[in-house]
Amino acid sequence: MALWTWLVSLALCCYVQGAATEKIPSAASFYVQSIPGIVQNPDIPLQIYSGHLAAEPNMTRVASNDVTAHLFFVLVKNRRVADKQRVVFWFNGGPGCSSFDGLMMEVGPWRWDGKPVGSESFVVKEGGWEEYTTMVYVDQPPGTGFSFSSTDQYAHTMKDASGHFMEFLKNFYAVFPEYKNVDTYLAGESFAGQWIPFFAEAILDSNFGVPLRGVAIGNGWMDAKSQYLTYLDYAMKMSLLEEGTEDYKHVKTEHERCETALASIKDNPVHVRECGGVINGIIHKKKPKVVNGKEMCMNMYDIRYEDTSPACGLNWPPEMHAITHFLDRQDVVNAIHAQARPGAWVECRGDVHRAFKDKTEQSGVTVLPKVLQKIPVLIFAGDQDLICNYAGLERMMRTMTWNGETGLGTVQTKTWSVNNTNAGTWVTSRNLTYVKVFNASHMVPFDLPHVSHDMMLRFMGADFSKLVGGSAKIPSSLGHVSKPVFVGEEKPADKATAPAAKTPEQEKAMWEAYYNAGSAALVLVLIMLVIGLFTWYRVRKNRLRLPANQTSEAYEEEQVPLNTSMRDEEAGPLTATRKGKGKAEPVFDVGDSDDDEPYNRTGDGTRR
């Protein structure tokens, strides 16, 4: 029995030590060695960390058997040395749309290779914002993308969402303390026009001491009133409607109905139900074109394109099908440490979206003036977007009062060019910079990656004279001032990161990950050895056998699927064995619902 006692003590000691380590994960545990299907470029080395971090701000309100909120993130370290270190947290909209949109299609390091779904891969290319800046893509609020929580704990207000993000941020800095004193920016698009002002306010009001230097919002849904009232004007300006036609008369009627509703509203809600008919009248014609037996409608995110009805832009960009299939691969999920979220990845989750829908929440524009008192704000807009069009944003700025004045004032609007092409217009007034981007859609970086990168570097105040290699060689100018272009060799510090061989930091992270995995394997072997010896001992003595289904309660909590009701809509390689309902309905699940197919991305029947 002495041997038995020693083995049990050793196994329990190792188990407790391992459990304690999991509560405060090391950065190495998030290190991504490689991602299947990502074609690496030795000239563009990537250092990636990803996984889940706890994001429940109020543990006292959570029942002991609840699944607590965890946000998923992907961190991509800057590849080249800039004039200084910077970190950008990126958010997509929805609400409920994953920031993998930004990572996989917009400001991230790779792009779809165009191969058919099932044989797709992604190629690392220049143009990503991680070139000179560390990027952190966050799936939020809980339930979005690979993030999870019990559905009865979903965020319903901006205060809820801010609380989740701040708790995530606290844990992020515990794992990556080297970023706490680095110049920090928040950036995103669409409904992130709601998230970002509130998140910025929360950071600025906190005692975190985070050096938040600015925020950037692209085609943001910040002021519902201004957007609704400019749909008709934008449609006429862009020749989407012809005055006097049946379509025009219908939209004009809906516009007047919307005006009446808005006149009776004194506050600034995120959505106004009576105004949804305006944009629907623009994208759906009375006599729609029919192609191959299918009715067509306008792509609300890029008016240069059409789509089949009723999608009207939800099938765009075409990359989405390949991305969805790619993120449903088990080897990819394992590689990025996303296993804790059961079920398939869905771009936009209906249940998360509905948690915010029909609420009387105030729009982000109500918080923006307070943010502008403390930090610079960049608002940029692709001119080919209908849903969050530039006309609505310009109206918002004309009527908004900040830093003692209303509107942009009499400041000069400058021309802006990138690679000898007119990229747009640029104006700055009292901490607010507004950039209108030519020939760009709702997703500016998707259309013009190098243009959007130049814009962000300028906004962050990057010293172009100290940037060499890569996009630094692309000429650009703002007004009459051209960016200095260094034609010489890259800095030695840059060359150190260029070879395909792993850096010392990568080697350390890899070996620590191996060590953690080896330690876990050793614990498992010891436990199995103890169980085996104990079973042998009991059988030998003709005593009762150990029940075959006996497990550790703590182990069950960590390993059992968090959702016992996987839906058919999410069926795929990851969920084929989980379809249908179990014998009992769960009290809660982690957010898979009958409406988790890609839904319209805004609160008015579209995806923001």
The beta-strand segments (E) located in 269-411 are 290-291, 294-298, 306-308, 377-382, 401-402, 405-406
pLDDT at res. 585: 30
Say whether both 142 and 185 belong to one domain.
Answer: yes
Instruction: Please determine, for residue 491, whether its predicted confidence score (pLDDT) is greater than 60.
Output: no
Q: What is the pLDDT of residues 27-71, one digit of tens each?
A: 999 999 999 999 888 888 899 999 999 998 886 665 555 778 999
Mean local confidence (pLDDT), 549-554? 33
pLDDT of 190 > 80? The answer is: yes
pLDDT in tens, 573-588: 333 332 232 323 332 3
Rounded distance, CA 151 to CA 168, Å? 18
Residue 141 tokens read as 């609020």
User: 190, 363, 441, 471: which one is catalytic?
Assistant: 190
Place of tokens 């771009």: 347
Count of structural domains within the chain:
3
Q: pLDDT grade, residue 608 (50/70/90)?
A: low
- Triad 9, 27, 15: Cα angle to 5°: 10
Q: One of 307, 442, 454, 476 is an active-site residue; which one?
A: 442
Indicate the SS3 state at residue 160.
helix
- Asked if residue 604 lies in contact with residue 279, where contact means CB atoms within 8 angstroms, the answer is yes
In the predicted model, what is the mean pLDDT of residues 507-529?
47
Is residue 170 in a domain?
yes
Determine the pLDDT at residue 338: 96
Taking the CB of residue 41, how many other CB atoms lie within 10 A of it? 15
Q: How far is CA 85 from CA 178, 184, 463, 531, in A?
A: 10, 9, 12, 51
Q: Is residue 556 a part of any domain in this protein?
A: no
Query: Would you state the pLDDT for residue 385?
Result: 98
pLDDT band, very low/low/confident/very high, at 604 (cuts 50, 70, 90): very low
Which of 139, 160, 383, 385 is flagged as catalytic?
385
3-state secondary structure of 71: strand
The whole-chain average pLDDT of the chain stands at: 81
Q: What does the pLDDT average to over 251-264?
A: 97
**The predicted structure's pLDDT at residue 81:** 83
Whether 204 and 253 share a structural domain: no
Same domain? For 137 and 193 the reply is yes
Domain assignment present for 346: no
The rounded distance, in Å, linking the Cα atoms of 573 and 324 is: 11
**432 backbone dihedrals φ, ψ, rounded to 5°:** -110, 125
Could you tell me if 178 and 113 lie in one domain? yes
What is the Cα 466 distance to its own chain's centre? 30
In the residue annotation, 52 being an active-site residue is answered as no
* C-alpha distances in Å from residue 155, one per residue of 67, 170, 248: 14, 18, 39
Residue 530's domain comprises 1-31+502-547
Q: How confident is the model at residue 471 (pLDDT cuts 50, 70, 90)?
A: confident
Same domain for 37 and 25? Answer: no
* 99 assigned to some structural domain: yes
Active site residue 190: yes
Total Cβ atoms within 10 A of residue 407: 13
The pLDDT-based confidence of 118 (bands split at 50, 70, 90) is confident
589 occurs within a structural domain: no
pLDDT of 458 above 90: yes
Three-class secondary structure of residue 587 per DSSP: coil
- Strand segments, DSSP code E, in 473-517 are 476-478, 481-482
Per-residue pLDDT, 388: 98
Pick from 246, 229, 236, 238: nearest CA to 284: 246
Is residue 568 domain-resident?
no
> CA-to-CA distance for 545 and 177, rounded, in angstroms?
50
pLDDT, residue 226, reads: 96
194 and 50 together in one domain: yes
Among candidate residues 250, 280, 313, the one where a domain is terminated: 313
Q: Under a CB-based contact definition with an 8 Å cutoff, are residues 444 and 388 in contact?
A: no
Distance (Å, whole) CA 66 – CA 59: 10
Residue range 306-316: average pLDDT? 94
For residue 357, what pLDDT band results from cuts at 50, 70 and 90?
low
φ, ψ for residue 57, nearest 5 deg = -75, -20
Name the E strands within 502-579.
Answer: 565-566
Q: Token digits for 527? A: 């436990």
559 in any annotated domain: no
**385 labelled catalytic:** yes
Q: How far apart are CA 484 and CA 269, in angstroms?
A: 45
- How far apart CA 596 and CA 343 sit, in angstroms, is 11
Question: Residues with Cβ < 8 Å from 96, sequence gap 6 or more?
Answer: 141, 143, 144, 348, 349, 350, 351, 352, 353, 356, 599
pTM score of the predicted model: 0.79
pLDDT of residue 42: 85
What's the angle, vertex CA 343, arms to CA 188 and CA 48, rounded to 5?
A: 45
The answer to whether the CB of 258 falls within 8 A of the CB of 229 is yes
> In the predicted model, is pLDDT for residue 10 greater than 60?
no
